[in-house]
Amino acid sequence: MENQVIYAALLGLGTVGTGVYKVLKNQEEEMTAKIGTQVKISKILVRNKEKAAKKIGNALIITTDWEEIKKDESISIVIELMGGIEPARSYILEALEAGKHVVTANKDLLAVYGGELLDKAREHGADLLFEAAVAGGIPIIRPLKQCLAGNHISSIMGIVNGTTNFILAKMTQEGMEFEEALALATHLGYAEADPTADIEGLDAGRKVAILASVGFNSRVVFDDVYIEGITRITATDIRYAREMGCDIKLLGIANDTPEGIETYVCPMLIPSSHPLASVNDSYNAVFVHGDAVEDAMFFGRGAGELPTASAVVGDIFDIVRNIQAGCCGRIGCTCYKELPLKKMEDTKNCFFLRLQVEDRCGVLAEMTSVFARHQVSVAQIVQKATLKHDCAEIVVITSKVKEGDMRQAVEELGTSSSVKKIPACIRVYEK
């Protein structure tokens, strides 16, 4: 095979950008042997040149001027690793218009503007690949688009945020409360200085929008995903869940149902025997059900410098192969359907409800009549403990009920004089 060099530009030299630079350097010789072509980073766009130069010891290829990259006809691939919406969106659109191929890990952008960017790529016969945008180093976008293309995918659920999985794992294994586990995650560098996007479920919500779009061949955007984070989960909820043979995980759920697509992110009780329950620490996993393959699970590192770079470099290899074969743009947007979206109120789940109620005769009867009024069928009811001030802690597990009915029941219980507090209302995963 003839040895060639393909030039690429990196936009951003932070955690992932530095990882991609390192992995490409490590692969220099092997890449030529593997695919007969070397990819060289000839320009890197950053805001702070000095900081970047210290990282790679080569100031010559660093620039703060996007136009320099856009107009450089020798650059065939733009690797966007800056994050955020702007200027990333404009730069990707301009790169595609200039006939360059793009790799990005930017889930924030793809979860909102994925359709626009993929349309632009198709218009210009270019590749726009984004394996790293969901679950970092775990291959999931390419498997859904290619390896599992012969399936009707009906459900995708995953642990797609490492920070929250680490926090919940510490709360489970060491009995920590949320704040203590978050402080540990921050100390160990898992949680960012501002952890909001992780702990409030927004990061997972973006990934679920992308997974649903790719898995169900119908565009789902970030605003379509119902999101609840893990900030209200307590060590007591986890202890009670364990007593019932369950773990609590922040799950991203996407189901293609006859009534429409449902997408949500929320903490859920999941049986400890389910493969996702054993995904601990900062690991991610995505569990897919297809009509032909049945169940398949993808597991690994969902973030970090080298794991995320691994996915980005895999995309670069694919583009190089497409360039060599003259078939760029081969697998672009796969959203050929326009499926309806189901409202969260219409989804059905079992619920775990923890209530603190007056410890007196007749209270349980009052509660069950509230459930009955709202079509909430109770599967289990247990008095867990007698607390101070004649107060009892009750745990209720419902059958599968409509979210809207459950919300009304909880609202009415909240107004009852016998109910002192409703510390937890958590969905329970049931197949």
Catalytic residues: 207
Taking CB under 6 A as the binding criterion, the range among 27-35, 44-52, 259-267, 273-281 that sits at the site for ligand NAP is: 44-52
Give the range of 80-88, 213-221, 266-274, 285-293 binding ligand NAP by CB under 6 A: 80-88
Residue 161 as a binder of ligand HSE (CB under 6 A): the answer is: yes
Regarding 105 and contact with ligand NAP (CB under 6 A), the answer is yes
Q: Which of 56, 27, 26 is nearest to 42 (CA)?
A: 56
Q: Interface mask (CB under 6 A) for ligand HSE, residues 21-40, using x and -?
A: --------------------
The binder of ligand HSE chosen from 18, 155, 163, 263 (CB under 6 A): 163
Q: What residues between 291 and 330 interact with ligand HSE by CB under 6 A?
A: 302-303
CB of 282 to ligand HSE, least distance (A): 7
Q: Is 140 in the site for ligand NAP (CB under 6 A)?
A: no
Residue 13 near ligand NAP by CB under 6 A? yes
Candidates 69, 111, 303, 319: give the one binding ligand NAP (CB under 6 A): 303
User: Per CB under 6 A, which region of 35-43, 82-90, 255-263, 378-386 contacts ligand NAP?
Assistant: 82-90
CB nearer to ligand NAP: give 17 or 215.
17
Q: Which residue, among 88, 126, 125, 91, has the nearest Cα to 110 in the 3D structure?
A: 88
In angstroms, what is the minimal distance from the CB of 221 to ligand HSE? 18
Site membership for ligand NAP, residue 427 (CB under 6 A): no
Name the residue among 142, 247, 232 with its Cα closest to residue 179.
Answer: 232
Are the C-beta atoms of residues 228 and 201 closer than 8 Å to each other? yes
Question: Can residue 131 be called a binding residue for ligand HSE (CB under 6 A)?
Answer: no
Which range of residues in 45-53, 156-164, 376-384, 395-403 is near ligand HSE by CB under 6 A?
Answer: 156-164
> CB of residue 209 vs ligand HSE: minimum separation in angstroms?
13
* Beta bridge partners of residue 296, listed in sequence order: 288
- Judged by beta carbon, residue 107 or residue 354, the one nearer ligand NAP is 107
Please say which residue, 38 or 163, places its beta carbon nearer to ligand HSE: 163
Of 251, 249, 247, 248, the closest CA to residue 211 belongs to 251
Q: How far apart are CA 164 and CA 187, in angstroms?
A: 14
**Can residue 158 be called a binding residue for ligand HSE (CB under 6 A)?**
no
User: Which of 121, 27, 98 lies closest to 314 in space, CA to CA?
Assistant: 27
Total residues belonging to the chain: 431
Q: Which of residues 84-103 bind ligand NAP (CB under 6 A)?
A: 87
Sole window of 76-84, 143-151, 158-166, 264-272 interacting with ligand HSE (rule: CB under 6 A)? 158-166
Give residues in contact with ligand HSE (CB under 6 A): 161-163, 198, 203, 302-303
Give residues in contact with ligand NAP (CB under 6 A): 12-17, 45-48, 51, 81-83, 87, 105-107, 132, 136, 303-304, 308
